[in-house]
Structure 1
């Protein structure tokens, strides 16, 4: 009998259904699991499910029964994959489920910032419209997306879908060549050129040692068109202190972030200190989380487990 333990069920909305496997099993769910609870809760488990709870080399060494880790997300940076490989533990992730929800959230942030929706909403709530004496007023600049240049960092499924939507808005799309690499072909725009010519830059890259902090002071100073920066990928991809300085210095015009370097953020997180500014939008890592996308994720998650037990594993990263 397989023992399946879901360490952080509360990372999926309560209305999302988890189909039970057809094979004999015990299924245990925890809403949340702290780092010091992981080893005890996975003791004797053959299958672990985690979204964001880290599985470290130290913990994995204490779990001889563990055979499979089903990550309830696309990103697997919370798993020590080298340790899994040493212990013969297979790891799967979720793919393709967010092809609508993340790009739509990306454009929601983009549109809100380009059209100053937050500032105008605040004006209405504060009575500015009522005081204006006319049918409209122009307290804040409003800009179209059409005709703007969009720099996309990350050319995977999400980056490609963002490009499709951008073209429908009439935007010029640039896929950035990987930072520090050349020779990627004519479909890519050199990194420095993308930074210098984009009106909006949106990030859709995984977090790896190579991509951590890919946007920092040097990059912000190279952004000649003072772009919006949109990040619905991972918080660690951007140096947050440098980001705030760039905003203060006018090197960029606004930021829409769904992800931060630590989640939930501490009160002293640089972006939390400026979150009330009208050209700053911070959302709580929900770009992926439409009900439709979450159900698709849950269905794929349970299918990954079923196929592993049936010796037909899919979506393996280790």
Structure 2
């Protein structure tokens, strides 16, 4: 059997071991494959039984041109880069990794929130620049600081990651409300399910935890931003395309909302012309919530288990069965 890894660098910049795949047969690893070069993708998949992909698009044309392909292992949770319905018509199993990063993403959600509310980096820089010494007093701050106790956190979506975020929020003595497209059981009676209008109106912090679908495209826009508090903090560790970038930049620049902290972008890497790069009070990180070493090792282990299950006719995490 031949396994081809099309964009391995994202998962493994050198601190993981691809040899774990050798048990299955021939393994070819490409650090990166151009997303927009269909001919190159097809060339690299020649003879492949299993493709490992993260963001490389696997379209119906590529599937048709890859007759040996039997399975596609997504090295992530999201699989919108793969035409899963067409793969099903060709009896190609598409497998993802749904729960590997729950704790890491929840942790990073709060890292973003604390970056906004506690301003550690900003004040560390000021101390090193001598501003504390110049101030001549025992305590010095150059920006407003915020206590999280009593603040209302609104979670859009209430899957595993959002639930993990809620647990951390309760430990900070925050109020937690959430919106979900269907009723959800809660693990603590202090957590309340509300409609979106209520969530926008009542939340001090709004954190996005929903997958990208056509229906959810840019659902954070001028209209929904206008329903939020002017002191609101928006956090996104989900998908960049959930937000209309121009509308968010305008809301930040006008003071319609106070802050945004985003680990994902509409285009990744973020484009030089993104209005968010120059927007006021906009914290940006390069899609790293999922990226601790322990988390990526867990992801790779689950990918291996997915392939093993497929080969034993006991498939796991198949999204197009």
On whether the aligned pair clears a TM of 0.5, the verdict is yes
- Partner deviation per Cα, 1:278-313 (whole Å, 9 max, x = no partner): x32211100001111000001001111111111111
**1:236-255 alignment, distance < 5 Å:** 236-255=241-260
For residue 17 of structure 1, what is the aligned residue in structure 2?
Answer: 17
Cα distance change of structure 1 residues 50 and 170 upon mapping to structure 2, 3 Å threshold? same
Cα separation, 2, equivalents of 1:298 and 1:100: 16
Q: Which structure is richer in relative contact order (CA contacts within 8 A, separation 6 or more)?
A: 1
Matched, 1:4 2:6: no
Query: What is aligned with 1:38?
Result: 41
Equivalent residues in 2 for 1:42-61, closer than 5 Å:
42-61=45-64
Deviation at 1:251, TM superposition (A): 1.5
Contact 2:158–2:180, Cα closer than 8 Å, also in 1: no
Gapped regions of structure 2 (runs ≥ 5)? 186-191
Counterpart pick for 1:77 among 80, 84, 92:
80
In structure 2, the residue corresponding to 1:27 is in which secondary structure? strand
Alignment of 1:165-314 (within 5 A): 165-178=168-181, 184=183, 187-274=192-279, 279-314=281-316
Mapped to 1, the partners of 2:147 and 2:94 lie a distance apart of 43
Q: Structure 1 residue 256: deviation in Å?
A: 0.9
Measured after TM superposition, the shift of residue 185 of structure 1 is 7.0
**Could you tell me how far 1:85 is from its partner in structure 2?**
1.6
Q: 1:44, CA displacement in angstroms? A: 1.4
For residue 166 of structure 1, report the CA deviation from its aligned partner: 0.5
Contact 2:123 2:141 in 1 (8 A): no
Q: CA deviation at 1:137?
A: 2.2
CA distance in 1, matches of 2:108, 2:180: 24
Determine if contact 2:150/2:173 at 8 Å carries over to the other structure.
yes
**Partner residue in 2 for 1:140:** 143
What is the CA–CA distance in structure 2 between the aligned matches of 1:185 and 1:70, rounded to whole Å? Answer: 30
* Greater mean alpha carbon deviation, residues 306-315 or residues 133-142: 133-142
1:121/1:86 Cα in 2 relative to 1: closer, same or farther (>3 Å)?
Answer: same
Q: Measure how far apart 1:21 and its partner are.
A: 5.1
SS of match in other structure, 1:229: strand
The alignment yields a C-alpha RMSD, in angstroms, of 1.6
1:26 aligns to 2:29 (yes or no): no
User: Residues of 2 paired with 1:246 and 1:118: CA distance?
Assistant: 24
CA distance in 2, matches of 1:6, 1:138: 49
Q: 1:190 Cα shift? A: 0.8
- Maintained 8 Å contact 2:158/2:184: no
The answer on 1:99 being equivalent to 2:98 is: no
SS at match of 1:20: helix
Task: Give the Å deviation of 1:20.
Answer: 2.5
